[in-house]
Amino acid sequence: MNINATLIGQSIAFIMFIWFTMKFVWPLLLKGMEERQARIADGLAAAEQGQKDFADAQEKSTIEINKGKEQAATIISQAQKRGDEIVEEARDLAKKESERIKESAVSEIEQEKEKARQDLRNQVATLAITGAEQILMREVDQNAHNEVLTKISKEL
């Protein structure tokens, strides 16, 4: 336990290690740590920004969705209205058409009736003449009695 030159050797080693640490270890370590600190801070800020952006986007999308829903509802109601209109129109059209058909049918029937009556009239006239001929046993001059015949057939 005596003091000897180990003292000097230790001092030299001490100075060497301090020098080495000061030159190569401390600045590098501190610089690296500071850089990383800055990077972490940036990352955190970016994450926060991202979160904010996400919230904004979510809000925006909700608004858009609501808008879309509203639009869809309007479109649907419009379509319904339009559908009702179309149905109404169709109904009107059909009514008109049916009336027209009915009218034409009625006029046709009327015509047919008229025609049938005409025929009947003619036949009745012919029958009447034939009957009269039988009764009179002679030929009835159609032209001479045309006036009468027409009168009769008109009365039928």
Partner 1 sequence: MAVDTITSKSYITHHLQNLVYGKLPAGFDRDGQILEEATWTFAHSPEEVLEMGFWSFNVDSLGWSFFLGAIFSYFFYRVARNVSKGAPSGFSNLVEMIVEFVDNSVKDIFHSENKLIAPMALTVFVWVFLMNTMDLVPVDWLPVLAQKLAGDPHFYFKVVPTTDPNITFGLSLTVFAMILYYSIKMKGVGGFLSELTLHPFSSKNTVVQILFIPANFLLEFVGLIAKPVSLALRLFGNLYAGEMIFILIALLPFWIQWTLHLPWAIFHILIVLLQAFIFMILVIVYMDMAHQKDH
The yes or no reply on residue 114 touching partner 1 (CB under 8 A) is: no
- Entry field: residues in the chain: 156
The yes or no reply on residue 46 touching partner 1 (CB under 8 A) is: no
User: Which of the stretches 2-10, 77-85, 90-98, 126-134 binds partner 1 when contact is defined by CB under 8 A?
Assistant: 2-10
Q: Judged by CB under 8 A, how many residues of this single chain contact partner 1?
A: 31
Which of 32/50 has CB closer to partner 1? 32
Which of 1/136 has CB closer to partner 1? 1
Rounded to the nearest 10°, the torsion over CA 45, 51, 54, 58 is -140
Interface characters, 17-36, with partner 1 (x: CB under 8 A): xx-xxx-xxx-xxxxxx-xx
The yes or no reply on residue 11 touching partner 1 (CB under 8 A) is: yes
The yes or no reply on residue 75 touching partner 1 (CB under 8 A) is: no
Residues 6+ apart with CB under 8 A from 93: none
Q: At what angle do helices 142-155 and 26-136 cross, to 10 degrees?
A: 130
Geometric angle at alpha carbon 119, from 116 and 124, rounded to 5°: 120
The yes or no reply on residue 10 touching partner 1 (CB under 8 A) is: yes
Q: How many whole angstroms separate alpha carbon 76 and alpha carbon 70?
A: 10
The yes or no reply on residue 135 touching partner 1 (CB under 8 A) is: no
Which two tokens mark 118? 């005409």
Rounded to the nearest 10°, the torsion over CA 52, 55, 57, 62 is -160
Residues that bind partner 1 (CB under 8 A): 1-11, 13-18, 20-22, 24-26, 28-33, 35-36
